[in-house]
Amino acid sequence: MSFLIPTDQDFFAMFERTTSTIEEGAQLLESLVRDLADLDVRLLRLKEVEHEGDVTTHETYEKLNKTFLTPFDREDLHSLASQLDEILDWIEEAGQRFGLYKITEPRPEASRLAKIIVQATSELGAAVRQLRAHSKNAAGIRKHLVEINRLENEGDHIYRQALSRLFEDESLRTITVLKWKEAYDALESAIDACEHAAHVIDFMLVKHA
């Protein structure tokens, strides 16, 4: 008789709210990486956005613990919530590394990586907003997931180029190279986290096809 009991649809609203927060964080990061002025104020806002995401993630976990029937398998919803939280953590961490290491001069590869984060989070948000109707539009959702994968590959290429240029530039002090390596690593990790979230969604679609 469980099919007569409606599943709780609030999870979709929570995931949509989380991805909107992620998109805002990505845009803040991209703006910050392009123009490194007034870092303290802008990093404070980025931290606030990350905290907003944490609040929604904890609400999602609590609801999972209390809800009898869920629209997807409970463990998959938990995995998606966790992976979305990971994206926002890396976005905030990337920004903080620019502040921590007092990086004041932008580099083009960093801006390109940050732009990819904006694009990947936008695609992810679009995919999540279509999950309510997943049974009718799985193909449409997968288009966004495929694009996230393409963006991740592009990000890997830019990341490798960035490191190559960094290590080849003999005019840079060793400490500067290390600082930028840490910044690039965080940016690349944020992109990777988007792809991991896309994999979770794809797995959910396969299980409920």
Rounded-to-5 percentages of helix, strand, coil across the chain: 85, 0, 15
Grade residue 2 by pLDDT with cuts at 50, 70 and 90.
Answer: very low
In the chain, the domains with their CATH numbers are: 2-207 (1.20.58.220)
Confidence at residue 1, expressed as pLDDT on a 0 to 100 scale: 35
User: Which two structure tokens, joined as six digits, stand for 73?
Assistant: 């398998």
> Distances in Å between the alpha carbon of 153 and those of 3, 98, 121, 145, 179?
41, 24, 15, 13, 24
Closest CA to 84 of 168, 5, 148: 148
- As a whole number, the mean pLDDT across the chain is 93
Alpha carbons 209 and 185: distance in angstroms, whole number? 36
Confidence at residue 22, expressed as pLDDT on a 0 to 100 scale: 98
pLDDT digits (tens, 9 = 90+) for 107-132: 999 999 999 999 999 999 999 999 98
In one-letter notation, the amino acid at residue 132 is R
pLDDT digits (tens, 9 = 90+) for 152-179: 999 999 999 999 999 999 999 999 999 9
pLDDT digits (tens, 9 = 90+) for 6-24: 445 688 999 999 999 999 9
The yes-or-no verdict on residue 75 having pLDDT over 90 is yes
Grade residue 136 by pLDDT with cuts at 50, 70 and 90.
Answer: confident
Confidence at residue 151, expressed as pLDDT on a 0 to 100 scale: 98
